[in-house]
């Protein structure tokens, strides 16, 4: 009697919640569950910009994987997925043996999209993992240190954030809030530090209506951020960046470039193994991949069409969390030989963009929110997630940590 093996790749929002639900739904004798992730911690991707800017200690957003899974029920493998061999139904890992599966969940998250812009990957920084966030934090600090060391300085210390989507805006806001402390620490005049956001579109935060986007822009301008709208990053080199607008090309150097111009699904699987559309693998209504009845794709690797607009939902934690529940329910149904699978029907609650620690803006249940109310909404979203992942125990331990840890 073959016991089916379920392999879940990735312990981000999508993967870890799928496992958390599967371990509740299926008995020990019904299936083996294996979770693979390159690190032995789960991190809250939605806070990475704060670690990158140095306004949040990483301990606040990392959770040991083994503390939230039932290790009697689930085998956790800390390893990097190198390849999925879909016809052989196996996964090749960097260090371990090939892992065969009966059911596979692909939840390997995102990587930066470069759109072929020369030098982006080589010379800019990107917020794509905890390690990359740490790297950005330390690069920012070393730029301040180097600048301070070059006395009689007439230059500017310039940071350019490419892209004014949610990530670019949330990151530059955190950085703007940290700059005064960095200037004090390194004895640099605040006027010598430039924070520039470059956005190809005529306005920031394209998902929001004009009134919210303008509110966000004013809030950031008051923190010392300047905007270059209708301007694209054309190339990045070791010294700086070339911009392109209607007025022509402009070079800014020296400058440190943080690229937040868009994302695509993890290329370990997207296109390399399963055909992708605009960088993400289309998920069917039940979250399986077309022609692969035992393979599910969820989170940022997946693309799920919103029937109302005919376009894919944006890749968000909100979607990843909801997908994990449908995915786990459907795998449990397949293991038990159930005839029908659930259809994924997301219920979108809205979105909030933080503008540093004192301000935020968003739309929640169709209602526009700004300032303290928006911040409160964001906090509630985070608390709900922690509760979903680890119940009251995790929630309380994190609340205690947030009281005690200051970056
Ligand atoms: P991830 O959370 O990225 O997890 C992927 C996992 O796979 C990681 O643990 C990674 O280590 C692992 N992995 C990757 N490659 C390999 C490999 N080869 N082998 C093994 N393991 C691997 N969305 C919202 O809804 N609300 C927000 O407020 C919000 N804020 C955001 C802020 C920032 C700064 C960013 C970058 C994104 C934000 N998002 C937000 C989007 C949200 O974070 C993503 O949509 C969400 O993380 C997707 O979850 P996921 O599980 O697909 O991927
Ligand atoms: P995005 O695709 O949403 O935004 C990228 C921005 O970069 C766009 O405004 C685009 O016009 C701009 N851009 C692209 N190429 C450019 C160029 N060459 N020069 C200048 N600008 C350029 O990407 P993101 O902000 O990383 O967000 C990714 C996903 O994560 C989205 O689905 C987003 O909703 C989600 N997210 C959500 C939150 C939140 O809810 N608070 C926070 C962060 C990310």
List all residues 6 or more positions away from 224 whose beta carbon is below 8 Å from its beta carbon. Answer: 176, 179, 190, 193, 195
Task: Tell whether ligand 1 has an atom less than 6 A from the beta carbon of residue 261.
Answer: no
Q: CA Rg, the chain, in Å?
A: 22
d(CA 124, CA 260): 10
Q: Report which ligand 2 atom has the smallest distance to the Cα of 243.
A: 19
Beta bridge pairs of residue 295: 104
Contact call for residues 132 and 126 (beta carbons, < 8 A): yes
Tell me if domain 5-112+264-347 and domain 120-261 are identical in fold: yes
pLDDT tens over the chain, length 407 residues: 789 999 999 999 999 999 999 999 999 999 999 999 999 999 999 999 999 999 999 999 999 999 999 999 999 999 999 999 999 999 999 998 899 999 999 999 999 999 999 999 999 999 999 999 999 999 999 999 999 998 767 889 999 999 999 999 999 999 999 999 999 999 999 999 999 999 999 999 998 999 999 999 999 999 999 999 999 999 999 999 999 999 999 999 999 999 999 999 999 999 999 999 999 999 999 999 999 999 999 999 999 999 999 999 999 999 999 999 999 999 999 999 977 899 999 999 999 999 999 999 999 999 999 999 999 999 999 999 999 998 888 888 888 776 555 45
Q: Which amino acids bring their CB within 6 angstroms of ligand 2?
A: 115, 117, 162-168, 170, 198-201, 206, 232-233, 260-263, 314-316, 351-353
Query: Residue with structure tokens 């993400």?
Result: 280
Q: Show me where the domains of the chain are located.
A: 5-112+264-347, 120-261
d(CA 108, CA 268): 8
Query: Residue with structure tokens 């979770």?
Result: 35
Rounded to the nearest whole angstrom, what is the distance from the C-alpha of residue 31 to the centroid of ligand 2? 39
d(CA 211, CA 159): 27
CATH code for the part of the protein at 5-112+264-347: 3.50.50.100
Domain 120-261, CATH among 1.10.357.10, 3.50.50.60, 3.40.50.2300, 3.40.640.10 = 3.50.50.60
Enter the DSSP assignment of 19: H
Task: Tell whether ligand 1 has an atom less than 6 A from the beta carbon of residue 268.
Answer: yes
97 has catalytic annotation? no
pTM: 0.96
Rounded to the nearest whole angstrom, what is the distance from the C-alpha of residue 166 to the centroid of ligand 2? 5
Out of 170, 174, 177, 199, the active site residue is: 170
Helix (H) / strand (E) element for 258: namely strand 256-259
Rounded to the nearest whole angstrom, what is the distance from the C-alpha of residue 12 to the centroid of ligand 1? 6
């Amino acid at each position: 009697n073959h016991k089916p093996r379920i392999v879940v790749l990735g312990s981000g929002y999508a993967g870890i919640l799928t496992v958390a639900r599967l371990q509740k739904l299926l008995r020990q004798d019904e299936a083996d569950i294996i979770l693979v992730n390159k690190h032995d911690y789960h991190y809250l991707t939605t806070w990475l910009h704060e670690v990158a800017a140095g306004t949040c200690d990483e301990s606040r957003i990392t959770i040991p994987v083994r503390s939230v899974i039932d290790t009697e029920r689930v085998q956790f493998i800390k390893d990097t997925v190198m390849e999925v061999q879909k016809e052989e139904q196996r996964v090749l890992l960097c260090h371990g043996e090939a892992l065969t599966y009966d059911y596979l969940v692909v939840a390997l998250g995102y990587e930066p999209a470069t759109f072929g812009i020369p030098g982006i990957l080589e010379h800019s920084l990107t917020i794509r993992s905890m390690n990359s966030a740490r790297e950005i934090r330390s690069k920012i600090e070393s730029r301040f240190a180097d600048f301070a060391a070059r006395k009689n300085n007439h230059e500017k210390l310039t940071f350019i954030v490419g892209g004014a989507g949610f990530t670019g805006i949330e990151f530059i806001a955190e950085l703007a809030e940290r700059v005064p402390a960095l200037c004090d620490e390194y004895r640099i005049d605040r006027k010598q530090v430039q924070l520039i956001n470059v956005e190809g579109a005529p306005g920031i935060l394209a998902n929001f209506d004009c009134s919210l986007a303008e509110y966000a822009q004013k809030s950031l301008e008051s923190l010392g951020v300047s905007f270059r709208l209708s301007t694209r990053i054309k190339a990045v080199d070791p010294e700086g960046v070339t911009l392109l607008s209607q007025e022509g090309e402009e070079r800014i150097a020296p400058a440190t470039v943080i690229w937040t111009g868009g994302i695509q699904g993890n290329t370990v699987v997207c296109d390399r193994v399963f055909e992708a559309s605009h960088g993400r693998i289309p998920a069917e209504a039940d979250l399986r991949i077309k022609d692969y009845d035992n393979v599910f794709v969820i989170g940022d690797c997946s693309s799920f069409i919103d029937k109302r607009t005919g376009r894919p939902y944006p890749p968000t934690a909100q979607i990843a969390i909801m997908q994990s529940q449908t995915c786990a329910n459907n795998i449990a149904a397949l293991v038990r030989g159930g005839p029908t699978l659930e259809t994924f029907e997301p219920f979108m609650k809205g979105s909030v963009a933080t503008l540093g620690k004192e301000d935020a803006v968003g739309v929640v249940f169709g209602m526009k929110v700004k300032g303290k109310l928006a911040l409160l909404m964001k906090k509630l979203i985070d608390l709900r997630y922690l509760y979903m992942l680890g119940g009251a125990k995790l929630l309380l331990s994190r609340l205690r940590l947030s009281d005690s840890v200051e970056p």
